[in-house]
Chain A
């Protein structure tokens, strides 16, 4: 799903960034957000609706709509569309509203 050739933009080779998604090791690239790295791995479902458990992907990509909230390193409700991916992040699907520790 990464763009290979583009008439205007050039996407330079970036360092691979390992992370885990629901326990599985995946790789994003330096410069990715969590949501973009997941999308590049073909993962579109990021969260579930609170009551009816319907699958949700990101919608706005500006940190506004809450459709991409996930549990990151144990913290719920992280807006993954604007949160930069970091090495060895533990990213998990979120059920419900999330628990504050």
Chain B
């Protein structure tokens, strides 16, 4: 069995920054991702980041990806990257099982960092499984990574930042956004994103949701309806729109399967997006030597994932007796960064979620 010092599962913003911290500490890193390229969802993010200059605000996600990747690649032989590799098992003796090109193999590490990120949620409505109903982030991948339009006319469901940003990016790709439906009475994402698409003539319909998708083999339309204060559909308020694509942007759920599989304690915290691992203040799960960071421990922005990733890398290095050269000053700075990123009104849910997790663990 192959021996590694540290194994990181997931090469997104959290995993890449964890890798960098471990490399700076002198450790060897094996970074695994099921995709062909590293960077996670940054690879398709053509918009500029907000938040903190220290976490690359005002830089496009795609450029951040290049930066994070070159930061780790310069360590040469100490970093090994396994792409298109699926981790199918994590065991308590810090052994992981992988599949790559139909080949099954196992590896053992002194520290394992699980940074698997999140997946987009779906919404229950009639015909929600028709081809043409996509997660908003999936459409972003199709357009910005592969240069393909999802269709000609799109309904966006959900006005969080992903829904707003992807609506704008659909227009940049030359796709018509016919409407954006939001179940709540207010737009939930940043108003700077909402204003941008409103200026381009997109109707943002609050107190509105999709009742059903129309079509036999593919989406040909959508039936919308108004919702009352308790988010129940109002009979008789329905109307239909002809379109060929419906994008669902109703939040993300942490990918927690590997935590459950290894036997780590997992708790349901609604504000953090779903099932999240219980972690201590060094980002270690309840399994010795198994760490977690990024969206996998609670849905936030990529900037927070990067900060958490670096902290996790530093703590994991410390536990392997490989201290980061600026361990204490770096950790203090990163703590302050995180507090800053979680300080705004939009981070209220995250603050509540973390408090709850503190209580459940």
Across the interface, do A44 and B218 meet the contact criterion of CB distance under 8 Å? yes
Residues of A within 8 A of B217 (CB): 45, 55
Q: Looking at chain B's contact residues, is the secondary structure mostly helix, strand, loop, or mixed?
A: loop
The residue from A9, A54, A61 contacting B137, defined by CB atoms under 8 A apart: A61
A58 to B131, CA, bound (A): 7
- Interface size bracket, B side: 35 or more
Q: Quick one: closest A residue to B34, CB to CB?
A: A63
A61 to B44, CA, bound (A): 12
Known pairs A49-B129, A57-B131; A82 contacts B142 (CB<8 A):
no
Interface string of A23-60 (1 = CB under 8 A from B): 00000000111001001100011100100001111111
Across the interface, do B134 and A59 meet the contact criterion of CB distance under 8 Å? yes
Mark B residues whose CB is within 8 Å of A: 34-36, 41, 46, 60, 84, 86, 102, 119-120, 122, 129-135, 137-139, 141-144, 146-151, 172-174, 217-218, 255
A45 to B133, CA, bound (A): 11
Q: Quick one: closest B residue to A39, CB to CB?
A: B148
A49 to B132, CA, bound (A): 15
Most chain B beta-carbon contacts within 10 A, residue among A6, A56, A57 = A57
Q: Looking at chain A's contact residues, is the secondary structure mostly helix, strand, loop, or mixed?
A: loop
Mark A residues whose CB is within 8 Å of B: 1-9, 11, 31-33, 36, 39-40, 44-46, 49, 54-65, 67, 75, 81-82, 84
A63 to B255, CA, bound (A): 12
A2 to B60, CA, bound (A): 22
Q: Quick one: closest A residue to B175, CB to CB?
A: A3
Residues of B within 8 A of A6 (CB): 147, 172-173
A57 to B215, CA, bound (A): 13
Residues of B within 8 A of A81 (CB): 138
What would be 17 A-B contacts, judged by CB atoms less than 8 Å apart? A1-B148, A1-B149, A1-B151, A2-B148, A6-B147, A8-B172, A36-B146, A44-B132, A55-B131, A55-B218, A56-B129, A57-B133, A60-B119, A65-B119, A82-B35, A82-B84, A84-B84
Most chain B beta-carbon contacts within 10 A, residue among A55, A65, A84 = A55
Residues of A within 8 A of B102 (CB): 75
A61 to B36, CA, bound (A): 13
Residues of B within 8 A of A9 (CB): 46, 144, 147
